[in-house]
Amino acid sequence: MKDSLRQSMALLHTWAGLLFGWLLFAVFATGTAAYFESEITRWMQPEIVGSSDPLTAAEQAVDYLGQTAPDADSWIITLPNSRSATTQLFWSPSEEEGKTYSSAILAPDGKEVSARETSGGYFLYRFHFDLHYMPVIWARYLVGLAAMFMLVAILSGVITHKKIFADFFTLRFGKGQRSWLDAHNVTAVLALPFHLMITFTGLVTLATMYMPWGIAANYTAPQTFFESLFSSAPEVPRTGEKTPLAPVDAMMRQAAAHWDGAMPGSVTITNPGDSSASVTLKSSSEDAIGVRGEVLRFDGASGQLVQPAQAKGPALETESVMIGLHAGRFADWGLRWLYFISGLGGTIMVGSGLVMWTAKRRTRLPDPQRPHFGFRLVERLNIAAIAGLGAGIATYFLANRLLPLGMEQRADWEINSMFLAWSAIGLWGAIRPVRRAWVETLGITAALFLAIVPVDALTTSRGLLASLMAGDWAYVGFDIVMLLLAAGFGFAARKASGAKRSTSARKTYRTPERTPA
């Protein structure tokens, strides 16, 4: 019975991991990068220097909006924090002007950003659950299905590998299939709680979309559910009585006192410049695990607190914490790097599992030199997924430095360049002999990551050496990670090149020419 169960789980683990493995590799890789979303965006906008505290940024934003959109229905201000240097502004025009939101970004000096157009780290964050070039709703269902398969693969893998923890302490290099299994086991066990947490909480983030039946059974429409869950202030028409806005920084200090020193992360002002104005402050996601931050509402004219924070129910609090654990925005530097390393381990776990599938089955083929179509397809998709995505991300960063600054739709072409490079690597891997394809595509990817550091130094004044001298550790960290990725892909290319020679050597010595006795 035990053998039967383990064999069943092994089969489930194998196919659950393979069917969505290529998508899961991309989701893990870009999701891991998203833990440094703000730092990536800062690197991709080198024109922005300095930092600003939330109090100063809020006053600068109110001054800017007062001059730019004094009659808007509402202003929304996303404040800078310890990781982001800019202030993001959104405003809804008055009814006479329509309802399309406008936006702007302010630099730490309070002036509108004149930096290059880019989607920065935000694109990588969105890609890991929205993908690209396809309807968002389809992408989220596809990623959700992949996450469910991932959860099945993790649990079945734990059952299958009864010696998985013992094997964690046994690393064998240069042993072909055995080495791939060791790499798979090590990266799986090293952060097993993280992998379970990140997969399950990823499903929780979109649970109402994946399982809408409870809402349908209890509410007339989904919008009614969300309105009751996340209640907002009722819309109040303008009185027409011009009244200056009370100092926002005083309201922010009062909010911080309520939140034990935590500063607001966003400010929403309705009916600005009118006696009916109200100011809503939401606590920063940096200061708590839960993403559903505390909310305080003030009278905009007097600055008096009119609605204190409302307690959340157990279900909403649990959901808030689970999403916060998944996003990791609360994490300080040490924990953020632990998230990143664990996510990198998950990416390697998925990638090594894909490669191990082919390594394990190659020995069973009747003619290893002429594998069947399904085997060849998996081999080529592995190259496209692993080397192709790496080359695409490196190209995305290079395009940020090399595309003309005044180019039309520049941010879109940064993204397009990523997929063009990804496609090119996939095509190259499809037409070349598989072993040569691995060596060449991994080598190209290593070269692209390596090129980022000198290209950055040649095109901006914030290269690695200059950043070291200035103590700009976000920039330094980015460049060091690029060099480490280049070294990792280069090492993989070297090992792939050595695999060909070692395989040839084994064939030479293990199958000697037979001679008559």
| 74 φ, ψ (degrees, to nearest 5) | -155, 155
Buried residues in 235-263 as b, exposed as e (16+ CB within 10 A): eeebeeeebebbebbebbeebbeebeebb
What pLDDT shows up at residue 478?
Answer: 96
- Looking at this protein, which amino acid is placed at residue 240? G
pTM of the full predicted structure? 0.88
Residue 166 has pLDDT above 80, yes or no: no
Q: How many Å apart are CA 210 and CA 140, to the nearest integer?
A: 9
What pLDDT shows up at residue 53?
Answer: 87
- What share of the chain has pLDDT > 90, as a percent? 54
- Element (DSSP H or E) covering residue 75: strand 74-78
Q: How many Å apart are CA 251 and CA 205, to the nearest integer?
A: 31
What pLDDT shows up at residue 260?
Answer: 84
Q: Is the alpha carbon torsion for 251, 253, 259, 262 positive or negative?
A: positive
Please check whether residue 91 is in contact with residue 69, taking contact to mean a CB–CB distance below 8 angstroms. yes
Q: Who wins on pLDDT, 418 or 514? A: 418
Residue 358 has pLDDT above 70, yes or no: yes
Please check whether residue 474 is in contact with residue 419, taking contact to mean a CB–CB distance below 8 angstroms. no
Quick one: DSSP state of residue 264? E
- What share of the chain has pLDDT > 70, as a percent? 89
Residue 171 has pLDDT above 80, yes or no: no
Structure tokens that stand for 43 in this block: 């690197």
Q: DSSP of 323-378, one letter per residue?
A: HHHHH-TT--HHHHHHHHHHHHHHHHHHHHHHHHHHHHHHTT-SSTTS--HHHHHH
Mean pLDDT of 62-76: 91
Please check whether residue 387 is in contact with residue 485, taking contact to mean a CB–CB distance below 8 angstroms. no
Residue 510: pLDDT band by 50, 70, 90 thresholds? very low
What pLDDT shows up at residue 5?
Answer: 72
Structure tokens that stand for 297 in this block: 């509402």
Q: How many CA atoms within 13 Å lie on the side-chain side of 145?
A: 9
Query: How would you classify residue 123: left for phi > 0, otherwise alpha for psi between -120 and 50, otherwise beta?
Result: alpha
Please check whether residue 262 is in contact with residue 55, taking contact to mean a CB–CB distance below 8 angstroms. no
Structure tokens that stand for 79 in this block: 């404040």
CA angle at 298 for the pair 292 and 302, rounded to the nearest 5°: 165
What pLDDT shows up at residue 180?
Answer: 62
CA angle at 357 for the pair 354 and 360, rounded to the nearest 5°: 145
What pLDDT shows up at residue 169?
Answer: 59
Which residues are registered as beta bridge partners of 278?
270, 299
* Each residue's pLDDT tens digit, 178-219: 666 667 777 777 888 999 999 999 999 998 899 988 888 888
Buried residues in 352-379 as b, exposed as e (16+ CB within 10 A): bbbbbbbbebeeeeeeeeebeeebeebb
